């Protein structure tokens, strides 16, 4: 989930005007009074604008058909062109007094589908006033949008009885008396107008007020969000600096979204009720009030805010659960699986997520960049840098150069190379462990070894943890600075070394080795070419369903072929293969390449290692097999009605190795990953033995 709106708006406006240097954007103040008729889909607005400075000539954008007129102030407005649903105007001031515009009309755009990869779509709208609700933002241009400015505002919205409007800042005034009012005095890069027949909930807190707006009364659900809001705002205020707005609101949208706006989040009805949202997307959206919604993203530079928000929300939650290493390994795997060489770009070129590859870079690699920076500087200095960056850049636009400046200030280190290489270069280095020697040294031994970067370009600046288990005593960690193609390390030990593991917690952004990560669905969904085989022996209705699933996954992926299983004499060895159906004649070959899974096609029975047998008439299994070089997938259903849902849902389960579903929806029941083995980054120097489970270094916030 993410805040996609801002990127789309920026993209729309970028087409219209070149972006100025945005260090000191002028601030336009709006005093808006709006009247909304949801049934008619119309809005009528009176907006008094105060424009800064001596400039007399302004360009503004407004939704087409709103026909603005100057009713107060000395100014002339004239149309100067159109761009899609937007109309451009020239506003000439004859004196520097405020100007009042009056305009109105209909804004109603349907939802548009955006495709983001195999089977993944989401919806957005250019803005709409409907009987169900109102969604208006800068891209709708429901207020006079002046490119390359920020805005402060006072907004009064008149609505039918029972309706409430939500926007940024302080509010909602007294909606019961017919009008919602919102005020924001900190400069904003957009003004949102969301409205609906909401039941409101409020809870005062030490840092801000928590608010919830639901479309149906549900006090228990509201309370969970009010409590979570207070907890997360305290967490991030303590970590980064004071929360910058008068409230934070959860607002229920009238279609499925996961948007983060300044001081509120707009989530769909289904999304709000997913239990895991409170620990995943919700902290992410709240944290965007620091990164993105109060420190803005410099439009001319890279979008650093998704990586930093991912790092301090999604990653931190997992780190607090002792699973930071799992999350980092997932990010490395996504990059390996989805970012082909020609699709790669540096994180400084990330603007917004539009598919798996851009997400793996802009969210994943970028989060790893911040993680490596933290490991370079230490937790205390890293946190001080975050605080400095926030204090210096609040309510202005910032880029990677400003981040670098803040971290240099607090650390006293020159981070020029580190930032330049990690933010401006593509690719990921490989790591390998060279010769390792153990020689007598005083009463103990000296362990020496060599780390190497395997590279296609110049070396990356790396700090690589090397974990050493000894025959006796606790394991030791050595941090090896690897800034050239290779670096030697040595460590004096009291006891003989037993095992060396390089980067055991996946602290370094790098290529993964076979064995470090199990095969999962993303190995199949991320592949550019492959084969999907549907079963000739299946009954007609099943065969048709499987074919449709295969065709829908193939769409837009010309490297994938769909074939009936009896048209082959052998399974290809050189590309991923999906097998469909219990009836698939290649199922035996698949079973032979699993890690001890028992599949009995005749009995429709399945048994995962160490688990009870599963009845294939009651569940739909989805399994992977093989290795990351040639991943295999198998899915089978008993009821053809389950196929369409699987086709849609599975691309969202890329990080899992095996799953089962029930019913025709179908609903996920079991999910998990095969165990990873040792890789060439692990070397045993003594007899193998069971080691106690390892805990990674402490979380940034315990
Ligand atoms: Zn985000």
pLDDT on residue 112: 83
Q: Name the least confident of 16-30, 340-354, 583-597, 662-676.
A: 16-30
Span from the CA of 358 to the centroid of ligand 1 (angstroms): 13
Say if residue 16's pLDDT is above 60.
Answer: no
Q: Measure the CA–CA gap between 646 and 661, rounded to whole angstroms.
A: 9
136: CA distance to ligand 1 center in Å? 20
Return the CATH architecture of domain 521-672: 2-Layer Sandwich (3.30)
How close is the Cα of 312 to the center of ligand 1, in Å? Answer: 11
CA–centroid distance, residue 305 to ligand 1 (Å): 7
* Cα 316 to averaged position of ligand 1 atoms, centre (Å): 14
> How far apart are the CA of 260 and the centre of ligand 1, in A?
7
Neighbours of 629 (CB within 10 A): 12
pLDDT, the chain, mean:
91
- Distance in Å, CA 167 to ligand 1 centroid: 19
User: What integer is the mean pLDDT of 402-431?
Assistant: 97
For helices 642-649 and 540-554, the axis angle rounded to 10 degrees is: 20
What residues does 89 pair with on adjacent strands? 60, 79
CA of 350 to the centre of ligand 1 (A): 13
For residue 473, the model assigns a pLDDT of: 87
283 C-alpha to ligand 1 centroid (Å) = 10
Predicted local confidence at residue 5, as pLDDT: 38
Q: How far is the CA of 484 from the centre of ligand 1 (A)?
A: 34
Q: 221 pLDDT exceeds 50?
A: yes
What confidence score (pLDDT) does residue 121 get?
A: 63
DSSP structure string for 530-568: EEEEE-TTS-HHHHHHHHHHHHHHHTT-TTEEEEEGGG-
Give 11 Cα–ligand 1 centroid separation in angstroms.
17
Arithmetic mean of pLDDT, 384-400: 95
pLDDT at 2 over 60: no
pLDDT of res. 251: 97
Residue 66 alpha carbon to ligand 1 centre in Å? 32
Alpha carbon of 3 to ligand 1 centroid (Å): 5
What pLDDT is attached to residue 455?
A: 77
205 pLDDT higher than 80: yes
Is the pLDDT at 677 greater than 80, yes or no? Answer: no
Distance 1 CA to ligand 1 centre (A): 7
| Domain 430-513 in the same topology as domain 297-424 | no
d(CA 317, ligand 1 centre) in Å: 15
Q: How far is the CA of 359 from the centre of ligand 1 (A)?
A: 10
Whether residue 678 is predicted with pLDDT greater than 90 in this model: the reply is no
The residue ranges of every structural domain in the chain are: 3-197, 297-424, 430-513, 521-672
Three-state SS string over 164-199 comes to EEECCCECCEEHHHCEEEEEEEEEECCCCEEEECCE
Q: How far apart are CA 357 and CA 526, in angstroms?
A: 9
**pLDDT over 70 (residue 8):** no
Which candidate, 126, 167, 155, places its Cα nearest to that of 261? 167
The 10 Å CB-count burial string (b at 16+, else e) for 599-610 is bebeebebebee
Distance 190 CA to ligand 1 centre (A): 17
Expressed in angstroms and rounded, the spacing between residue 28 Cα and the centre of ligand 1 is 27
CATH number of 297-424: 1.10.390.10
pLDDT-derived band at 218, boundaries 50, 70, 90: very high
Examine the pLDDT at 180 and tell me if it is beyond 50: yes
Q: Which CATH superfamily is domain 3-197 in?
A: tricorn interacting facor f3 domain (2.60.40.1730)
Q: pLDDT tier at 3 (50, 70, 90 boundaries)?
A: very low
Q: Which residues contact 462 (CB under 8 A, 6 or more apart)?
A: 372, 429, 431, 453, 481, 482, 483, 508, 510
Q: Please tell me the distance between residue 399's alpha carbon and the centre of ligand 1 in angstroms.
A: 16
Residue 4 clears pLDDT 60, i.e. is over it: no
Task: Indicate if the pLDDT at residue 239 is higher than 60.
Answer: yes
Give the pLDDT mean for 146-169: 95
User: What is the whole-number distance in angstroms between the Cα of residue 211 and the centre of ligand 1?
Assistant: 20
CB 133 within 8 A of CB 253: yes
Residue with tokens 């980067």: 503
Confidence band for 118, pLDDT divided at 50, 70 and 90: low
Distance 31 CA to ligand 1 centre (A): 30
Measure 180 CA to ligand 1 centroid, in angstroms: 28
Å from CA of 285 to ligand 1 middle? 6
Which residues does 641 contact at the CB level (< 8 Å), separation at least 6? 664
Taking the centre of ligand 1 as the mean of its atom positions, its distance from the CA of residue 287, in whole angstroms, is: 9
Question: Over 60: is that where the pLDDT of 600 sits?
Answer: yes
C-beta atoms surrounding 387 within 10 Å: 15
Centre of ligand 1 to C-alpha 288, Å, is 7
pLDDT category of residue 170 using cuts at 50, 70 and 90: very high
What spacing in Å lies between the alpha carbon of 691 and ligand 1's midpoint?
A: 38
Task: Determine the distance separating the centroid of ligand 1 and the alpha carbon of 388, expressed in angstroms.
Answer: 21
CATH class of the domain comprising 430-513: mainly beta
Query: What is the band of 467 on the pLDDT scale with cuts at 50, 70, 90?
Result: very high
Contacts of 494 (CB under 8 A, 6+ apart): 443, 444, 470, 472, 473
Work out the pLDDT band at 53, boundaries 50, 70, 90: confident
The string of pLDDT tens digits covering residues 506-545 is 999 999 987 888 889 988 988 888 999 999 999 999 999 9
pLDDT for residue 20: 37
How far apart are the CA of 374 and the centre of ligand 1, in A?
20
């Amino acid at each position: 989930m993410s805040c996609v709106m801002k990127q789309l708006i920026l993209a729309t406006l970028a087409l219209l005007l070149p972006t100025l240097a945005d260090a000191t954007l002028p601030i336009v103040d709006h005093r808006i009074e709006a009247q909304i008729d949801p049934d008619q889909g119309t809005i009528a607005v009176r907006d008094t604008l105060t424009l800064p400075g001596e400039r007399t000539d302004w360009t503004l954008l407004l939704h087409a058909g709103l026909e603005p007129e100057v009713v107060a102030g000395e100014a002339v407005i004239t149309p100067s062109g159109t761009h899609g649903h937007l109309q451009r105007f020239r506003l000439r001031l004859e004196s520097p007094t405020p100007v009042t515009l009056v305009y109105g009309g209909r804004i109603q755009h349907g939802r548009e589908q955006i495709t983001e990869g195999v089977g993944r779509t989401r919806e957005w709208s250019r803005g709409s006033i409907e009987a169900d609700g109102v969604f208006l933002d800068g891209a709708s241009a429901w207020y006079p949008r002046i490119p390359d400015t920020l805005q402060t505002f006072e907004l009064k919205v008149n609505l039918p009885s029972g309706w409430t409007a939500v926007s940024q800042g302080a509010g909602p005034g007294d909606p019961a008396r017919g009008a919602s009012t919102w005020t924001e005095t900190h400069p904003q890069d957009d003004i949102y107008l969301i409205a609906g027949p909401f039941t409101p909930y409020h809870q005062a807190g030490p840092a801000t007020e928590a608010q919830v707006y639901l479309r149906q009364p549900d006090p228990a659900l509201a309370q969970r969000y009010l409590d979570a809001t207070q907890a997360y705002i305290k967490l991030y205020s303590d970590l980064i600096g004071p929360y910058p707005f008068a409230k934070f609101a959860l607002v229920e949208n009238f279609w499925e979204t996961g948007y983060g706006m300044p001081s509120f989040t707009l989530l769909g009805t289904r999304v709000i009720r997913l239990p895991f949202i409170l620990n995943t997307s919700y902290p992410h959206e709240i944290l965007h009030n620091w990164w993105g919604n109060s420190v803005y993203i410099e439009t001319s530079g890279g979008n650093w805010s998704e990586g930093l928000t991912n790092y301090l929300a999604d990653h931190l939650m997992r780190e607090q659960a002792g699973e930071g290493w799992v999350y980092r390994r997932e990010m490395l795997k996504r990059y390996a699986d989805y970012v082909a060489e020609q699709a790669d770009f540096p994180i400084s070129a990330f603007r917004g997520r539009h598919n798996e590859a851009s997400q793996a870079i802009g969210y994943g690699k970028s989060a790893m960049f911040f993680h490596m920076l933290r490991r370079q500087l230490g937790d205390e200095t890293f946190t001080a840098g975050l605080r400095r960056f926030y204090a210096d850049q609040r309510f202005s636009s910032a880029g990677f150069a400003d981040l670098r400046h803040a971290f240099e200030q607090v650390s006293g280190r020159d981070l020029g190379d580190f930032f330049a290489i990690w933010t401006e270069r593509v690719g990921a280095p490989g790591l390998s462990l060279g010769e390792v020697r153990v020689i007598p040294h005083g009463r103990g031994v000296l362990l020496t070894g060599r780390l190497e970067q395997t590279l296609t370009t110049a070396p990356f600046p790396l700090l690589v943890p090397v974990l050493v288990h000894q025959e006796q005593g606790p394991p030791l960690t050595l941090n090896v600075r690897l800034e050239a193609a290779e670096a030697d390390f040595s460590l004096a030990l009291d006891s003989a070394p037993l095992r060396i593991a390089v980067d055991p917690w996946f602290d370094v952004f790098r290529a993964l080795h076979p064995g470090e990560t199990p095969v999962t669905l993303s190995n199949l969904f991320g592949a550019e070419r492959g084969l999907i085989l549907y079963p000739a022996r299946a009954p007609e209705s099943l065969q048709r369903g499987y074919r449709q699933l295969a065709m829908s996954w193939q769409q837009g992926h010309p490297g994938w072929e769909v074939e009936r299983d009896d048209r082959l004499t052998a399974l290809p060895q050189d590309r991923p293969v999906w097998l469909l159906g219990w009836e698939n004649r290649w199922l035996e070959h698949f079973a032979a390449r699993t890690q001890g899974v028992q599949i009995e096609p005749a009995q429709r029975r399945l048994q995962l290692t160490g688990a009870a047998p599963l009845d294939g008439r009651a569940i739909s299994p989805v399994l992977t097999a093989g290795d990351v070089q040639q991943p295999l997938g198998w899915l089978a259903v008993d009821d053809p009605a389950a196929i369409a849902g699987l086709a849609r849902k599975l691309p969202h389960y890329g990080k899992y190795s095996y799953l089962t579903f029930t019913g025709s929806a179908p609903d996920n029941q079991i999910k998990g990953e095969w165990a990873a083995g040792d890789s060439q980054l692990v070397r045993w120097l003594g007899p193998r033995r069971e080691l106690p489970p390892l805990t990674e270094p402490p979380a940034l916030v315990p």
